[in-house]
Amino acid sequence: MGYEHHFEYDVPDFVREAEEAMARGETFGTESAEVTIKFGKGLVGEPFTSRNGRELVEVSIPNPDKADSRPWETFVISPKMIHDNQYGKGVWMKLPEDGTTRLSRSVRTGVDDEGKTIWGRETREVSNLELKSLMESYKEKSRDSVLSELSDRRDSAASHPFEPKAKPHDRSGDAR
């Protein structure tokens, strides 16, 4: 008996190709062929239906540089590919390691006669490995800032030998 796939249009091409390869008896290492991307649930938008009838969600990518005030880049994906993290508030998805994803962002293209901003779309293709680093850049930032803060505290403590803490001001006379 052959394996029939009734929801063919809901499944991404790489999943269909993998299923067909498995049906032919071909095997491949899934760990080396996929990349797992973990990110916050708050970055996933509400589901919507595309022009061709597919259900999709838009996922936002925070700007890695805090000084970058441009709108965040986004990509769309099937909500079936995003899974809740078993331990925590995050979500995760797997994508083919050698694949690419199209990112887009709103950009100002000018101002109309009434002084209103005219918006356009800027798109680019990134590898899924680069997408992982963009989506998980928050890990490096928070780790770096915590480590540098701890290092600063350690350096500060080393340069200032034990100093007794100042006694708190007696405020008993302040209360009426």
What is the share, in percent, of the chain residues with pLDDT greater than 70? 61
Residue at 124 is within a domain: yes
Residue at 3 is within a domain: no
Domain ranges, residue 82? 8-157
Are 62 and 40 within 8 A, CB to CB?
A: no
| pLDDT higher at 29 or 139 | 139
Closest CA to 134 of 46, 43, 47: 43
| pLDDT higher at 176 or 51 | 51
Residue at 171 is within a domain: no
For residue 163, pLDDT over 70 is answered with no
State the pTM of this model. Answer: 0.59
Instruction: State the maximum Cα–Cα separation within the chain, in Å, rounded to a whole number.
Output: 89
Residue at 60 is within a domain: yes
Residue at 51 is within a domain: yes
Q: What is the pLDDT of residue 86?
A: 84
Tens digits of residue pLDDT in 93-103: 999 999 999 99
Residue at 19 is within a domain: yes
- Domain count of the chain? 1
